[in-house]
Chains A and B, each alone.
Chain A
Amino acid sequence: KQEVTQIPAALSVPEGENLVLNCSFTDSAIYNLQWFRQDPGKGLTSLLLIQSSQREQTSGRLNASLDKSSGRSTLYIAASQPGDSATYLCAVRDTGFQKLVFGTGTRLLVSP
């Protein structure tokens, strides 16, 4: 059974810092991995999708990497801003049941 863990559970940084959020999964037989952002009172916004054959994806200040063999993904946020404050979730779709399994999230607070 696929399990997804995110570390740290919460992170507080001053504006301008570069930061890394971690996601680990137990079964490396994945189809893809997706990073989401969740704002209070709102749904989830898809940030980046990495296919199992890819090593990384970039969008603006965000860069997500994938090391399938070690069961890890990282989300790198450059030059953080207060508007980046949200909960970040990673989700893995495995090749077996093809369901999306979510991690527990990292709650990020960027202070001005």
Chain B
Amino acid sequence: SAVISQKPSRDICQRGTSLTIQCQVDSQVTMMFWYRQQPGQSLTLIATANQGSEATYESGFVIDKFPISRPNLTFSTLTVSNMSPEDSSIYLCSVAPGQGLEKLFFGSGTQLSVL
């Protein structure tokens, strides 16, 4: 298993600003994932972050809008850039210990509201 600390837990931001979300894991993991959950909807994968390589973004998500860092095997950040009200969502980081195909463990999420 894995224990994931994600912060901030919530934030209210102004349009046009950026927010960086941090995700810290208590053990080394190869693959980390960032998800978005828009109000009333299910989770959508933003990108997969592997240490030592560029993040892989899903269709509809771009690096300029959601830059990701993965400096080591226990830490990652997701930045939501130039925010608009449409970015108001819950953002969750997730890890998959092992080969990345088994159980996913999630952080507690970041509730973002953009005014």
Contacts and interface: CB of A to CB of B under 8 A. Distances in A.
Contacts of B105: 46
A98 interface: yes
Contacts, number: 48
Question: What's the interface size class on B, roughly?
Answer: 20 to 34
A43 interface: yes
A25 to B, nearest CB: 13
Contact of B102 (A32, A41, A44, A89): A32
B43 A102 contact: yes
Interface of A is mostly: strand
9 contacts: A36-B106, A43-B4, A43-B6, A43-B106, A44-B94, A49-B102, A49-B103, A89-B43, A91-B43
Interface of B: 4, 6, 9, 41-45, 92, 94, 101-109, 111
Interface of A: 4, 31-32, 34, 36, 41-46, 49, 89, 91, 93, 98-100, 102-105
